[in-house]
């Protein structure tokens, strides 16, 4: 910082000199900010929700930024290790996979994009992993297709979550929420019928808290969740997850998708029974993420560097 020491000259007050200097520096600062790239202006005015570290500007996973921000990010020199993805996987054979869209903050993701948006991001990550592993020869075509089947069931789950969340957003009352007709897979459902396809609703004692330690246990799981878990078990049995890094990341992503089905079912049931207001549908899901925090990829052994999975 430059300090300007002012001394009043005969016949002039100190304020007469200090004021022009202050105006000069303020004008210069505004000119500098207006000349910055869009992403830096946004950073200083808090319109880009992200962090700045070293040589990289890391935009929050589910934010929306302009072309200038993307251009600046891509033009900066890389960090070591690579800062290309939010999560990086390095297999025992040296294959590197970067997951750009994975957010290690589960609650932030749900708060921003809901269960539907979060599950769609996890689906995209699984599809990307399948493609990269097959291209590198780490898995064969049959194993890659099993991974795609798993991901596609996650996409199907996201569709159901989206229908339920939209109904909660648009209904003007609980009565309307419970009576609205929702079309899925060519069939018409009430919200309570659609929610029954997700989570562990067949197990009367299941809650987000008591299934959080093993979200890939199919015991008492509802149809769509049970199908997803069965597909995960098929992937596991195929040998596609023999590499520790691949095992860690695919198991972590799959567990999150399965847990999101329980969060959606739980929130919908509470709203339908008028135990929670419609306005708290999303926040109810967010509040339950604390039960699953220790299971997230970046909060357990799966996120340790010696497993081949590194996190932000």
Segments making up each domain of the chain, as ranges? 1-35, 44-75, 87-310
Q: Tell me what pLDDT residue 292 has.
A: 67
How many residues are given for the chain?
Answer: 312
Over residues 169-213, the pLDDT tens digits come to 999 999 999 999 999 999 999 999 999 999 997 656 667 777 766
pLDDT band at 124 (very low <50, low <70, confident <90, very high): very high
Q: Where do the H-state alpha helices sit in the chain? A: 14-34, 38-45, 67-75, 106-135, 141-170, 174-179, 191-195, 208-211, 223-237, 244-272, 281-288
**pLDDT mean over 60-65:** 28
Over residues 241-291, the pLDDT tens digits come to 999 999 988 998 999 999 999 999 999 999 999 999 999 998 889 888 776
Burial 25-54 (b: 16+ CB within 10 A, else e): eeeeeeeeeeeeebbbbbbeeeebbbeeee
Q: Tell me what pLDDT residue 57 has.
A: 24
Q: What percent of the chain has pLDDT over 70?
A: 61
Q: Tell me what pLDDT residue 207 has.
A: 72
Q: What percent of the chain has pLDDT over 90?
A: 48
Global pTM reads 0.69
């Amino acid at each position: 910082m430059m300090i300007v020491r002012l001394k009043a000259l005969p016949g002039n007050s100190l304020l007469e000199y200090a004021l022009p200097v202050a105006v000069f520096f303020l004008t210069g600062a505004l000119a500098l900010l207006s000349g910055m790239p869009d992403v830096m202006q946004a950073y200083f005015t808090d319109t880009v929700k992200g962090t700045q570290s070293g040589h990289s500007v890391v935009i929050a996973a589910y934010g929306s930024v302009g072309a200038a921000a993307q251009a600046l990010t891509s033009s900066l020199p890389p960090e070591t290790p690579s800062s290309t993805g939010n999560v990086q996987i390095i297999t025992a054979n040296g294959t590197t996979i970067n997951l750009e869209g994975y957010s290690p903050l589960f609650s932030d993701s749900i708060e921003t994009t809901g269960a539907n948006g979060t599950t769609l991001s996890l689906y995209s990550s699984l599809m990307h992993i399948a493609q990269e592993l097959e291209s590198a020869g780490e898995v064969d075509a049959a194993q890659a297709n099993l991974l795609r089947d798993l991901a596609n069931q996650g996409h199907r789950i996201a569709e159901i979550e989206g229908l339920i969340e939209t109904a909660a957003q648009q209904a003007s009352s609980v009565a309307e929420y419970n009576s609205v007709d929702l079309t899925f897979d060519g069939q018409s459902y009430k919200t309570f019928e659609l929610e029954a396809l997700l989570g562990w609703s067949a197990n009367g004692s299941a809650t987000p808290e008591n299934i959080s330690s093993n979200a890939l246990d199919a015991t008492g799981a509802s149809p769509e969740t049970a199908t997803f878990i069965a597909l995960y078990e098929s992937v596991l049995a195929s040998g596609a997850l023999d590499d520790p890094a691949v095992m860690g990341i695919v198991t972590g992503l799959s567990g999150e998708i399965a847990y999101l089905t329980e969060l959606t079912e739980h929130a919908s049931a509470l709203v339908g029974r008028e135990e929670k207001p419609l306005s708290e549908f999303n926040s109810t899901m967010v509040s339950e993420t604390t039960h699953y925090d220790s299971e997230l990829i970046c909060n357990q052994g799966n996120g340790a560097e010696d497993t081949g999975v590194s996190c932000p």
